[in-house]
Amino acid sequence: MEKLQFTIEEVNDDPVESARIQAAHDQLVRNSHWLQDHGAELLPQALGKFVAVAGQEAFVAQTPEEAWAWARKKHPEDRGAFVEYVRPEKGPRMYGNRR
């Protein structure tokens, strides 16, 4: 069995950087809550596609690149934007590890 290695780094306590990170996190939370509240409105046209959420607004795209381009163009100030793939299949997912 191989040993796992990890590195611990000191974090800069710059208040400006901390505020920037907190603002991005707050935007991500707002976008995430928006998607939870409005996700059903995106179905079924979003199945098998990518959904970008930025500025509490959504866009359905064929590719992740197209989704990110929309988010950056439409809401360039939103550092909490995200893109998710909407699975077309229903039912449970099974994952396994192979060694």
Q: What is the pLDDT along the chain (99 residues), one digit of tens a residue?
A: 688 888 988 777 889 988 999 999 999 999 999 999 999 999 899 999 999 999 999 999 999 999 999 999 999 999 999 999 999 987 787 777 776
First to last CA, the chain: 11
| Range(s) of the domain holding residue 63 | 15-85
**Pair of tokens at residue 42:** 């995106």
6 within some domain: no
Is 4 a member of any domain? no
Domain count for the chain: 1
5 lies in some domain: no
pLDDT value of residue 99: 65
pTM, rounded to two decimals: 0.77
Has residue 26 been placed in a domain? yes
Indicate whether 20 belongs to any domain. yes
Sheet holding 57-61, edge to edge: 57-61, 50-54, 82-85
* Amino acid (1-letter code) at residue 8: I
Token match 């603002």: residue?
A: 23
